[in-house]
Every structure is written in structure tokens, then in C-alpha cells.
Amino acid sequence: MSRRVFWPVLFAALGGLAIVSSAQASRSRSVIDGMVSDTNLVALGEATVTVLGSSLHVTTGSNGRFRVLAVPAGRYLVTVHRVGYVPVAAAIQVGAADTLRLSFAMRRIVTALDTVIVSAKAMVARMNDFEARRKLGQGTFITADQIEQRHAVVTADLLRAIPSLLVVDSGPKGQWAYSTRTSSCLMQVAVDNVLLPTPTNLRLLLPPGDIMGIEVYSGPATMPLQFKSTNSSCGVILIWTK
């Protein structure tokens, strides 16, 4: 009788290079190589690089380098976080048998006052359109204050209260958002204007503490034009990060 063995995601640091792999590495078709530095081009170690829309994330080595293996073809948002620095992100398109090389320069947060100023500027830049659409009242909105008040552990918990969608659990690792219009209609998910691969596993989304606002549109009739696509008939969930 054969025995099936499942290996967990492995993390290794070889010569200062952070590497992420998994049991699916043998089927990997694409690689993301990159470098994280400060604005003076000094390498930054211990920065967390996350590929939103997948389970892939790594920590940079002491030389600021990182490598992500087993990346399926598709469109993703890559985010970089490090304590003391303003987070950065980039939208990428990964092809089959592709190798992407990315470079990120992070700006240092000097003092607590600077942190408040940076956060305020980021909120103004990202949330002006959010507030304008909220005043029109054509979708369902969750503000930063509401997110904080609800003390949600995962982002799916925030979405469960929205009447136009249904969160469905599929085992311990899968979680999907369906439109209530039909049981087979999977909603699209976008983070900071970047549409994630459909279907999007909600368990792979960033935590509520990193979210500034959420918009949900049940169909193309109420959806902002810039978010309409050939796959948007089931509606779209827009997530805005801090």
C-alpha cells in the first residue's frame, strides 16, 4: 500500500539569499528574483516580501536579496514590509517559464511624528476615490473605523456581514467569496487597484489590521468602470491597504 507524504513549505537562507519553495517546486514554471534596499541603495535584510493572491512569502537575506519559486502564471501584487520603513508594492505579470527581476527602495520612517504624517498622506492618496464612491451609495463599504471596531481575526470575517456575498469554506485551506445572485458565481478581488487571480482564496489575503477600507459591488451595474472586466459579472471586492 502506497503512502502519500506532504511536505510543508520550506524556508532556507543560503549565502544571505532568502528562498521559498514547496512540494510543488518540481512543477514550478516561474521565478521572482529581487533586491530590497533603502533609498541610499543600502541592502535591507529581514524585509517581508509577499505575493498577494498566493501563499508565497519570503524574508530577505542579509544582502537584501530574495527569491520566490513555484510562482504560477498570472497577475499579482507584490508587497514589501519592514519595521521602520514605509511599505512598498508593485503589480506584476508572471508568464509561463518566466523569470522576473524586481528592485524595491524603501523610505525610512524617522520618528513617530513622521509615521503619522506618512500615514495621513497615504490615506488621502488612496481613499479620496473610496470616499467619493461611498457618498454615491452604490456599493457596500467598510471603513477603517468599522474594521477596527469589529476586531476581526481574518479578512473573511469582515466580509461575512455583507449581504451581497457569501463566504464559503472549503476545507482548512480554501475560502471563497460567492455572489448571492447564484451559488456558482465567484466574485473577483482587487487589492490597491490590482485584480488578483480568480478564484481568489480569501485565506491568502492580508489581515484586517493592514486594511484601510473595503468596497463590495454585487454586479457590473453598480461597479466603477475601471474595475469592470470580462470576469466581473459576479461582482468585485475592492480592498485598500494602509
Label residue 111 by pLDDT band (50, 70, 90): low
| Residue extent(s) of CATH 2.60.40.1120 domains in the chain | 10-106
Q: In what helix (H) or strand (E) does residue 101 lie, and over which residues does it extend? A: strand 99-106
Label residue 124 by pLDDT band (50, 70, 90): low
Asked if residue 18 has pLDDT above 70, the reply is no
- The grid coordinates listed for 160 are 461575512
- The grid coordinates listed for 219 are 454586479
| Residue extent(s) of CATH 2.170.130.10 domains in the chain | 126-241
Taking only Cα atoms into account, the Rg of the chain, rounded to an integer number of angstroms, comes to 19
pLDDT digits (tens, 9 = 90+) for 131-148: 989 988 889 999 999 999
pLDDT of residue 24: 43
> Phi-psi region for residue 196, left (φ > 0), alpha (ψ -120 to 50) or beta?
beta
DSSP classification of residue 203: G
pLDDT of residue 168: 92
**CATH architecture designation of domain 126-241:** Beta Complex (2.170)
Strand 236-241, strand 211-217: pairing: antiparallel
pLDDT of residue 220: 82
| Residues contacting 162, CB < 8 A, separation 6+ | 140, 142, 216
Asked if residue 5 has pLDDT above 60, the reply is no
Q: Closest Cα to residue 52, out of 68, 35, 28? A: 68
pLDDT digits (tens, 9 = 90+) for 20-74: 444 444 455 799 999 999 999 999 999 999 998 778 889 999 999 999 998 988 8
Mean pLDDT of 154-180: 89
pLDDT of residue 148: 93
Question: How far apart, in whole angstroms, are the C-alpha atoms of residue 125 and residue 111?
Answer: 21
pLDDT digits (tens, 9 = 90+) for 75-92: 888 989 888 888 888 888
pLDDT of residue 3: 44
- The grid coordinates listed for 88 are 512598498
Average pLDDT, the chain: 80
Q: Is the peptide bond before 199 cis (omega within 30 degrees of 0)?
A: yes
Lowest mean per-residue pLDDT among 89-93, 97-101, 207-211: 89-93
In CATH, 10-106 is 3.40.50.300: no
> Phi-psi region for residue 165, left (φ > 0), alpha (ψ -120 to 50) or beta?
beta
Question: How far apart, in whole angstroms, are the C-alpha atoms of residue 33 and residue 68?
Answer: 7
